[in-house]
Amino acid sequence: MGDMMVTLEFDHLAVAGETLGAAAAHVEAALGAPLSGGGRHASFATWNRLLSLGPAEYLEAIAGDPEAPPPARPRWFGLDGFHGPARLQAWICRVADLDAALAALPEAGQAVDLARGDLRWRMAVPENGLAAWDGLFPALIEWQGPRAADRLAESGCGLRALHLCHPEAEALAARLAPHLDDPRIAFREGRPGLRARIDTPRGVRQLA
């Protein structure tokens, strides 16, 4: 399948913390919106809480699960090496066919089959757990059936803009350009990091 046939659609944001409480508190303080739901991911020994960003998009606060046995592979989103205050750590794009997406964008990682409750999905996870481009390359997800966003109550929040900062932002933008067409997502030169502007019932808030 040719590269041009692979389309990335923004799916969700991941805010990481040393603990789930720290990650959730960071989101709630920034946005003024409570998180809910979520659960555990046995394959990666992580757990999360969620916030709707509209009908097909959401945000997750995520951290290592202290009650889970250590995973057989590095945790996703670079959580094994995560230290310091909670922060916006990753962005995730959905694809219709993960195998085709990985043929076009192999740096996204290897496909892993996952489940939580009645949700089923496949995700590309790098071998060392941390995304390429200093963690800024999008994680890729293929939902199989219902999506997490479908189960979340409306929050009044939505993604207005996502800025990706990187010393080689122009090259990263060029790498993703054939597959990503979302005017909310911008690439800027600078120290590696993510910053989101979120519409909330209390106005536009910043999340980094």
Q: pLDDT per residue over 99-109, tens digit each?
A: 999 999 999 99
Q: Is 33 within the bounds of a domain? A: yes
Determine, yes or no, domain membership for 15.
yes
Task: Give the single-character DSSP code of 84.
Answer: S
Q: Is 70 exceeded by the pLDDT of residue 165?
A: yes
> Model confidence at 204, in pLDDT bands (50, 70, 90)?
very high
- The total of structural domains in the chain comes to 1
Predicted pLDDT at 161: 98
Q: CB–CB of 81/75 below 8 Å?
A: no
Residue 22 has pLDDT above 60, yes or no: yes
Q: Tell me if 94 sits within 8 A of 148, measured CB to CB.
A: no
pLDDT, greater one: 118 or 29: 29
Task: Pull the structure tokens for residue 186.
Answer: 């911008």
Question: How does 67-99 read in b/e, with b if 16+ C-beta sit within 10 Å?
Answer: eeeebebbbbbbbbebeeebbbbbbbbbbeebe
Residue-level pLDDT at 117: 85
Q: Does residue 2 carry a pLDDT above 50?
A: no
Residue 173 lies inside a defined structural domain of this protein: no
Q: Examine residue 172 and state whether it is found in any structural domain, yes or no.
A: no
Please give the structure tokens belonging to residue 208.
Answer: 């980094």
Does residue 163 form part of some domain? no
Place of tokens 């590095």: 74
**pLDDT, position 118:** 84
Average pLDDT, the chain: 95
Residue 20 belongs to domain with CATH number: 3.10.180.10
What is the mean predicted confidence (pLDDT) over 111-127?
Answer: 93
User: How many Å apart are CA 49 and CA 88, to the nearest integer?
Assistant: 14
- Report the C-alpha gap between 159 and 89 in whole angstroms: 15
Asked, for residue 75, whether it belongs to a domain, the answer is: yes
Please indicate, yes or no, if residue 182 is contained in any of the structural domains.
no
| Edge-to-edge strands, sheet with 193-200 | 185-188, 158-165, 193-200, 203-207
Task: Read off the pLDDT band of 37 (50, 70, 90).
Answer: confident
Give the domain extent around 92.
3-151
**Residue 111 resides in a domain:** yes
Of 101, 100, 60, the closest CA to residue 77 belongs to: 60
